Structure 1
Amino acid sequence: MTKFSSRMKLGGYLLAILCMAASAWIPADRAHAANAASLTTVGQLSAAQKPAGVPDDYVVTPNGYFAASCVVAIHQGDKLQAGGMIERANGALEKPATCTQPNYTLQGDRIEPNGQHVTVLGHAPPPVQSGWVQDANYASSTPIGRIVATWTVPSQPSKRGSQVIYFFPGLEQLPNVQSILQPVLGWNGYGDKAWTLASWNCCVNGTTFHSDPIAAHAGDVVVGDTYSNCAPGVACSSWNIDSRNTTTGQTTTLTTNPYADLTWVFGGVLEVYSVATCNQYPGGPITFSNVQVYDRNNNHVSNPPWQGTNTSGITPQCGYGLQTTASTVTISY
């Protein structure tokens, strides 16, 4: 080998090392935006279903329409701390770029990054205005420490368009919602016309956070498990949201701070975007089974007083219905 070729080879090694180092130093906001870019965008929705005033480069989330820069991925082993600070798996602390853009509901209502909620009868409204079609919920008099539910991935919609479908149980606060913890099964959430699982927490300082998605398929059995990582009786700042595909053995977890006591309980929710006809829904009905709720002291809530959302004003009307027992939530559509 000549000295010139040796120098070339050495230069190649140095260039590779510099490239790897540079990739590790990509600004956090650019890395997060690249991750969020794979989510379905408003521009991909059918023209008739796109909300007026929402930019085409906004992405569809289980919490409405967000600028991609306001959607942050929390990877496996990372932890979301107070104020949106991220503790990466290697121990490094990272503060995402501040979200400066508003988000929007399904109907195109604007919500500023400060996260202020309009109150109705003294309560912040649930995200039903952001696409919730049907849900079973109740307000707990004591803080919740865990909710776990099981359901089966339905068949794909017979008409596969640009619609986005989400199913999940979840927890929020009352009367002032500061966050929502959700293990989410989504169809076409990533512009892929396929089922995926991811865990979400929205919306600290206007930002919505999610774990890395994993695949799911019709017939797979899913478990959504949201729980405190602290001992019973402790107001805990560390929670896990596990979205588990028991058929494949994969789990995607978001470790997060709930930001306040969680007292609003959702045993099952159907949320949709860009649905114009009933055949754009997946096979149904869907049943969330073995729904188990525990309070902060690890006491099992034996008979949750489920209530339902009124769906009379939703278009299209697709035979919506809700049935509940102590441990099941069945949503019809």
Structure 2
Amino acid sequence: MKPFFVRRSSWFGKWMIAAVSLVGLTGIAQAVDDAQPQAALTTVSSLAPNFRPQNVPLDYVITPNGYFAASCVHAVANGEKVHADGSIEALDGSIRKPAACTLPHYTQSGVRIEANGAFGIVPQSKKPASSYSGWLLTADYVSSSDVGSISATWTVPSNPSKTTDQVDYFFPGLEQNDSNPDSILQPVLGYNAFSGSGVSEWTLSSWNCCYAGSTYYSGPINTAAGHEIYGIVTATCTSTSTSSTCAKITSTDETSKTSTTFTTSPYGALTWVFGGTLEAYNISNCDLLPASGSVAFTSIVVKNMSGTTLSNPWSPDNIIGSSGPNCNYGISTSNGSVTLKY
């Protein structure tokens, strides 16, 4: 779930690596068809004391985008619209507007980020040197033209050999480049990302973070190892036109024929393209990652605003580098595929 790491020139800079990775948010997830039991995002309090950044409140939650207060995480029902002012339009046309987020969120290492996007001081971390949280692997590039869509297919990997309090995310996505503030739109496959009655270990949800200090998601829907996933982000957003519903994020389990989607608005044109990303939290050994050892994003199609298919000059980024644990990380790419190995 951007979830993700802090960017190059703003809160999501991958060049800042784990020290500025995002992780956490709390909230209640609404099921796609309203029949699935509610699910709560994993909270900071569930982590062992030596794995918690020392200044992050225990009632904050873990997301693909960092540690957030529950009041700043908003569940969107399937098919609803998130407008540029943060209000949510239901299928019947009624409008609800969550209170503006005034609380900070935190990166994986506990860096405080104010609701307006301003960075705080890096605290002393309680995490042992052998553990890691944040973006591990990604393949990306910056498009010279505004991107109109990205779609990809991948298979839910096998469960990790060991389950503790780790959270594993896999996703493609689109983001602004060198924009502050910015937002990232992602169809997200997560392991151990949600908890609660009726929620499986693997879940699928759609995310837009972090508009005006808040993050929005639809789902989750349950999925399982071996299921085929299809994710697509479409956009008509430009640098001068960011209508309330110029973008749509859809996450589909092709095997069970279930999906979750909502329309939304980022801060501007989407030019930063992610073909496939592995993000994980509280990884102290390789058994906490899926036992299959790799995830392949295939049939990746990126189009511009005119609908023309673009070539994909992927830049493979081993963000975790030499940080522990060493799980034989690697990335292989072709024009239409990205394989993340660990």
**Match in the other structure for 1:181:** 185
What's the CA shift for 1:84? 1.2
TM alignment of 1:245-284, pairs within 5 A: 245-282=253-290, 283-284=292-293
User: In structure 2, how many angstroms separate the alpha carbons of the residues matched to 1:309 and 1:70?
Assistant: 31
User: In structure 2, how many angstroms separate the alpha carbons of the residues matched to 1:290 and 1:100?
Assistant: 40
**Cα distance 1:213–1:244, how it changes in 2: closer, same or farther (>3 A)?**
same
**Cα distance 1:44–1:155, how it changes in 2: closer, same or farther (>3 A)?**
same
Does 2:267 correspond to 1:243? Answer: no
What's the CA shift for 1:229? 6.2
**Cα distance 1:229–1:303, how it changes in 2: closer, same or farther (>3 A)?**
closer
What's the CA shift for 1:315? 2.3
User: In structure 2, how many angstroms separate the alpha carbons of the residues matched to 1:292 and 1:239?
Assistant: 17
Residue 50 of structure 2: SS of its match in structure 1? helix
Task: Check whether the contact 1:133–1:314 (CA below 8 A) recurs between aligned residues.
Answer: no
Which residue identity does 1:208 align to in structure 2? T
Which residue identity does 1:327 align to in structure 2? G
What's the CA shift for 1:109? 0.8
**Match in the other structure for 1:98:** 100
The total of aligned residue pairs comes to 291
TM normalised by structure 2 equals: 0.80
**Cα distance 1:130–1:146, how it changes in 2: closer, same or farther (>3 A)?**
farther
Which residue identity does 2:264 align to in structure 1? T
Structure 2: gaps of 5 or more residues: 1-25, 31-38, 121-131
**Match in the other structure for 1:16:** none
User: In structure 2, how many angstroms separate the alpha carbons of the residues matched to 1:265 and 1:90?
Assistant: 34
What's the CA shift for 1:312? 1.6
User: In structure 1, how many angstroms separate the alpha carbons of the residues matched to 2:316 and 2:28?
Assistant: 39
Does 2:336 correspond to 1:330? Answer: no
Which of 143, 155, 173 is residue 140 of structure 1 equivalent to?
143
Structure 1: gaps of 5 or more residues: 1-31, 119-128
Task: Check whether the contact 1:136–1:266 (CA below 8 A) recurs between aligned residues.
Answer: yes
Does 2:338 correspond to 1:318? Answer: no
User: In structure 1, how many angstroms separate the alpha carbons of the residues matched to 2:151 and 2:29?
Assistant: 28
Q: Structure 1 or 2: larger strand share?
A: 2
Map Cα deviations across residues 217-274 of structure 1 (whole Å, 9 max, x no partner).
Answer: 00000011111269x9x95632211100000000110211123100000000000111
Residue 84 of structure 1: SS of its match in structure 2? coil
TM alignment of 1:64-213, pairs within 5 A: 64-116=66-118, 131-177=134-180, 178-191=182-195, 194-213=201-220
Residue 213 of structure 1: SS of its match in structure 2? strand
What's the CA shift for 1:204? 1.1
Task: Check whether the contact 1:160–1:193 (CA below 8 A) recurs between aligned residues.
Answer: no
Task: Check whether the contact 1:74–1:212 (CA below 8 A) recurs between aligned residues.
Answer: yes
User: In structure 2, how many angstroms separate the alpha carbons of the residues matched to 1:34 and 1:268?
Assistant: 27
Moved more, 176-185 or 36-45: 36-45
**Cα distance 1:198–1:34, how it changes in 2: closer, same or farther (>3 A)?**
closer
Which residue identity does 2:193 align to in structure 1? G
**Cα distance 1:137–1:33, how it changes in 2: closer, same or farther (>3 A)?**
closer
What's the CA shift for 1:130? 6.9
Does 2:224 correspond to 1:217? Answer: yes
Q: Structure 1 or 2: larger helix share?
A: 1
Moved more, 290-299 or 189-198: 189-198
Moved more, 105-114 or 299-308: 299-308
User: In structure 2, how many angstroms separate the alpha carbons of the residues matched to 1:156 and 1:85?
Assistant: 37
What's the CA shift for 1:77? 2.5
User: In structure 1, how many angstroms separate the alpha carbons of the residues matched to 2:333 and 2:297?
Assistant: 9
**Match in the other structure for 1:62:** 64
User: In structure 2, how many angstroms separate the alpha carbons of the residues matched to 1:34 and 1:82?
Assistant: 22
What's the CA shift for 1:55? 1.0
* Identical counterparts, % of pairs: 47
User: In structure 1, how many angstroms separate the alpha carbons of the residues matched to 2:319 and 2:221?
Assistant: 32
**Cα distance 1:79–1:130, how it changes in 2: closer, same or farther (>3 A)?**
farther
